[in-house]
Chains A and B, each alone.
Chain A
């Protein structure tokens, strides 16, 4: 199997086991319903899981209208963040199955934006797509020009996790490509040019520089830790800072733009430290007041930072052409 196809397959097939508990305040039946076990697609969103979960709990619900929201350890989960990203972000040590609590009442409007179920998720997806198109192409004409049925089909393929359908629909989207010699069929094939990166077929016309849409989630922990198990539980979203900043993909001669370069461009304050390989963390000792990037997770895996960014982008991006990066740092909370 080709490397990029394999990677995309894994990305699309990725699913997190969730154990959904009904919040005890909403248990209206005796005995209390058992938790629901669902597999949540990584690239999907929490509101899409409601039809699967609701049957488990509907008999137990108190009377009233439903306004569904999830929380993890008391923290209401933002629904517009893909499920995989939430998992990577909030669970330092992957908790499998991930225990979430579902609420049907008492929507925390001060914390979460309203959600109307699948439709909200769909619009969120399309908007993100437009944003990505704008970043990549300079305009979102390609999304706008897409017919409504095609948009529906695109969203349906995302909802259903149908990579084939998505791949068929991609040409209609006419999103600009990110030239990546590393994503060709032969994993060891030599790159055409050492220049790497750089789009030559930019739709918008920018030849030399590519802009990659990136959403960066930074969780800062105050205390250093040795093992991931020791990472304290998250309390509030205040611990997490969110950056929606494109990465300028510079084509440099003789140099390959790595992930490290990307992160450094995004988080210059942490660029002094060079986190090593994924998985094991190295206690490097805090140097100054500068934070230390302890963990970089994309699509649930920790990557070697030497990995070419273009490969990362082309293989690990979400269906809406955004690359979601979760970072755990030690440093002062912002």
Chain B
């Protein structure tokens, strides 16, 4: 065999050997082993599956763990913040606690205050209650008192009315009697005039005294400061009342020339005086629109007659009744007053102011002398104008009645003194004097008690005395230097008193 062939043979041989080996080894054992190992493999695959599953689970667990750790981180962070906020809250709580304790203290304090206040309030309430009850009591008492008062007043009024009724009755009776008396008086007077015999009858009649012609000055009394406007003698006495500018009305004894009494209570300037026939009451007309009525004995003002709205310049009182007063004021009224009642019973209005006023003897007629120079007569009861006479060309300043009531003297600013007959109202005589000038609107002249003479003052301070029957001057009295404002002749014939503007009063006998 060639080497090549040997080689090829060897190669074939080798291949054969390989095949054989295959048959012996893996060919024979392979199937058996694979059959045996299948369960193993399957087990292995089982295990693989299990492993895979476990791996997946593990992965999931890891994921979960990572999630949880994330959450944990978040939670930790949150817990930190919570802790921080908790700390803050704690601090806050501390502060709040402090505040709370403070507030509590305040609260207790306030409560205490409140209690106190409540206590005081209670106290006040009780006091209030008491006071209220007291008030109620008082109110009750007051009511009772009021009712009692009312009752009493009613009773009093009743009494008064009863008294008034009684008084009225009495007055009525009295007037009746007075009327009767007057009638009697007139009869007597008439008898007296005719007889010329002085009879002393009931009250209300006068002595007839012959008056002397005054020639000498007795006393020179400084009666009033600033002027003495009105003087008046008491009935049938030498006591002289003087009223002046200011101050009281004074009562003088003309014998001694000394002051007896002063009647206080008057206001203003006394323009006229009037005295009741019983010499108990003196009435003064004042420039203060009032009339003052004094009780001469006590010297106290008994009445103040108000009602005039201007100065009262003339007043006269009834001789008969001593009750009726007539006054004239510059408010152009003449008022009639009742002294017992104390008030004005009648008012007469007219156009011209009255300067002087005089009541008739019977007290039923009022003679008034006016600024227009007229003398008027009024009915006292009705207030109606009875008649008027033109007496003077200028204002009448004085009207005075004679003692017997038949003649009336009027003096006017025309410096004429007229004597009228009261019944016929005709001039009986006219008296003049060259030096006689009336000083003021209220220069008063007077008639002597025996109705024979007329005395009038002059502006130059002289007093002129005329005789009515002769009609001429019988005496001129010169003593005062200032204008004479008023003259008055005492009822017992002497003295004659004259007052001047300086307040001096002279007595002449």
Interface of A toward B, CB cutoff 8 Å: 3, 6-7, 10-11, 13-17, 36-39, 51-52, 55-56, 94, 96-97, 182, 187-188, 191, 255-256, 258-259, 277-279, 299-308, 311-312, 316
User: What CA separation (Å) do A61 and B24 show in the bound complex?
Assistant: 33
Residues of A within 8 A of B40 (CB): 36, 52, 55-56
Q: B26 within 8 Å of A by Cβ? A: yes
User: Roughly how many angstroms separate A9 CA and B316 CA in the complex, as a whole number?
Assistant: 194
Identify which of B4, B28, B37, B47 contacts A96 (C-beta below 8 A). B28
Question: Would you give the shortest CB distance from A32 to chain B, in whole angstroms?
Answer: 17
User: Could you list 17 further interchain pairs (A-B, Cβ under 8 angstroms) beyond the known A15-B25, A37-B36?
Assistant: A3-B11, A7-B18, A11-B18, A14-B25, A37-B37, A39-B34, A94-B24, A94-B25, A97-B29, A182-B7, A182-B8, A187-B8, A256-B7, A301-B14, A307-B7, A308-B7, A311-B7
Chain A residues within an 8 Å CB radius of B10:
259, 303-308
Docked Cα-Cα span, A311 to B11, in Å, equals 8
Chain A residue, CB-CB nearest to B44:
A55
Cβ A52 vs Cβ B37 within 8 A: yes
Name the residue on A nearest B46 (C-beta): A55
Closest 6 CB pairs of A and B: A17-B29, A307-B10, A301-B17, A304-B10, A15-B26, A10-B18
B33 cross-chain contacts in A, Cβ below 8 A: 17, 37-39
The distance in angstroms between the C-alpha atoms of A277 and B29, with both chains bound, is: 27
Least Cβ–Cβ distance between A5 and chain B, in angstroms: 11
User: Does B13 belong to the interface (CB within 8 Å)?
Assistant: yes
Task: Tell me which residues across on chain B come within 8 A of A36, comparing CB atoms.
Answer: 40
Instruction: Report the separation of the CA atoms of residues A263 and B177 in the bound assembly, to the nearest whole angstrom.
Output: 216
Encoded as 1 (CB less than 8 Å from any A CB) or 0, chain B from 1 to 26 comes to 00110111111111101111110111
CA A304 – CA B15 in complex, angstroms? 11
Task: Kindly state the separation between the CA atoms of A52 and B15 in the bound complex, as whole angstroms.
Answer: 31
* Residue B197 lies at the interface, judged by CB distance under 8 Å to chain A: no
Interchain CB contact under 8 A, B18 and A299? yes
**What residues on A are CB-neighbors of B26 within 8 Å?**
13-17, 39
The verdict on B194 contacting chain A, using a C-beta distance below 8 Å, is no
Q: What are the residues of chain A within 8 A of B24 when measuring CB–CB?
A: 94, 96
> In the bound complex, do residue B32 and residue A37 qualify as a contact, i.e. CB atoms below 8 Å apart?
yes
List residues 20-64 of chain B with CB under 8 A from any CB of chain A. 20-22, 24-26, 28-30, 32-34, 36-37, 40, 43-44, 47
User: Which residue of the partner chain, among B9, B20, B32, contacts A304 with CB atoms under 8 Å?
Assistant: B9
B28: which A residues are within 8 A, CB to CB? 17, 96
- CA gap between A37 and B30 in the complex, in Å: 10
A-contact 0/1 string along B116-131, CB 8 Å cutoff = 0000000000000000
- When chains A and B are docked, how far (Å) is the Cα of A304 from the Cα of B1? 14
Q: Is the CB of A96 within 8 A of B25?
A: yes
Kindly identify which residue among B4, B22, B36 contacts A256, using a CB–CB cutoff of 8 Å: B4
Nearest to A17 among chain B residues (CB) is: B29
Main secondary structure of the interface of A (DSSP, over half): mixed
Report whether A182 and B21 are in contact in the complex, using a CB–CB cutoff of 8 Å.
no
Q: A55-B43, A256-B3, A256-B4 are in contact. Are A302 and B17 (CB under 8 A)?
A: yes
Query: Which of B17, B28, B43 has most A Cβ within 10 Å?
Result: B17
Supply 9 A–B pairs (Cβ within 8 Å), ascending by A.
Answer: A6-B18, A36-B40, A187-B11, A256-B3, A300-B25, A301-B18, A305-B10, A306-B10, A308-B7
Q: In the complex, which residues of chain B have a beta carbon less than 8 angstroms from the beta carbon of A279? A: 17
B30 near A15 (CB under 8 angstroms)? yes
A259 to B11, CA, bound (A): 11
Residue numbers of B with Cβ under 8 A of A are 3-4, 6-15, 17-22, 24-26, 28-30, 32-34, 36-37, 40, 43-44, 47
- Point out the residues of chain A lying under 8 angstroms from B34, CB to CB: 39
A56, B44: Cα distance in complex, Å? 10
Q: Is the CB of A6 within 8 A of B25?
A: no
- Within 8 Å by CB of B22, from A14, A96, A278, lies A14
Kindly report which residue of chain B lies nearest to residue A183, judged by CB atoms.
B11
Contact present for A304 and B30 (CB under 8 Å): no
* Complex contacts, A305 vs chain B, CB 8 Å: 10
A109, B36: Cα distance in complex, Å? 33
Say whether B13 contacts A303, CB under 8 Å.
yes
Question: Residue on A with the closest CB to B21?
Answer: A300
- Closest-CB distance, B495 to chain A (whole angstroms): 183
- Distance of A37 Cα from B129 Cα, bound (Å): 126
Chain A hits for B8, CB < 8 A: 182, 187-188
Q: How far is A3 from B17 in the complex, measured between Cα atoms in Å?
A: 13
Alpha-carbon distance A38/B25, docked complex (angstroms): 12
On whether the beta carbons of A13 and B7 are closer than 8 Å, the reply is no
CA distance A16 to B33 in the complex (A): 11
Closest chain B residue, CB of each to CB of A34: B36
Residues of B within 8 A of A191 (CB): 4
Nearest-neighbor residue (CB-CB) of B47 within chain A: A55
Closest partner residue, chain B, to A54 (CB atom) = B44
**Do A304 and B13 form a contact, CB below 8 Å, given A55-B47, A182-B7?**
yes
Nearest-neighbor residue (CB-CB) of B40 within chain A: A55
Q: Are B22 and A306 in contact (CB under 8 A)?
A: no
A188: chain B residues within 8 A (beta carbon): 8
Complex CA–CA separation, A182 to B8 (angstroms):
8
Task: Collect the chain B residues with CB atoms within 8 Å of residue A278's CB.
Answer: 13, 17
Pair B43/A306 contact, Cβ less than 8 Å: no
Complex Cα–Cα for A94 and B22 (A): 13
Query: How far is A258 from B6 in the complex, measured between Cα atoms in Å?
Result: 10
Contact residues in B for A3 (Cβ distance below 8 Å): 11, 15
CB distance from B43 to the nearest CB of A (A): 6
Interchain nearest-CB distance for B441 vs A (Å): 168
Closest beta carbon of chain A to B17's beta carbon, Å: 4
Return A135 CB to nearest CB of chain B, in Å.
Answer: 24
Cβ distance B7 to chain A, nearest Cβ, rounded Å: 5
Q: How far is the CB of A195 from chain B (nearest CB, A)?
A: 13
User: Which residues of the other chain, B, contact A299 by a CB distance below 8 angstroms?
Assistant: 18, 21
Contact check: which of B3, B25, B29, B37 meets A306 at CB < 8 Å?
B3
- Name which residue of chain B comes closest to A6, CB basis: B15
Minimal beta-carbon separation of B29 from chain A (angstroms): 3
Bound-complex Cα distance A78 to B304 (A): 175
Q: A14 touches which one: B9, B15, B21, B36 (CB < 8 A)?
A: B21
Chain A nearest CB, measured from B343 CB (Å) = 156
Chain A residue nearest in CB terms to B30? A39
Residue of A nearest to B35 (CB): A37
**Given A13-B26, A15-B30, A39-B34, A301 and B9 touching (CB < 8 A)?**
no
Q: B25 to chain A: which residues have CB within 8 Å?
A: 14-17, 94, 96, 300
Do residues B7 and A306 form an inter-chain contact, with CB atoms below 8 A?
A: yes
Cα A52 to Cα B43 in complex, Å, equals 11
**Residues on the A chain within 8 Å of B4, using CB:** 191, 256
Give the distance in Å from the alpha carbon of A299 to the alpha carbon of B4 in the complex.
23
Q: Is the CB of B11 within 8 A of A182?
A: yes
With A and B bound together, what is the CA distance between A141 and B372 in angstroms?
182
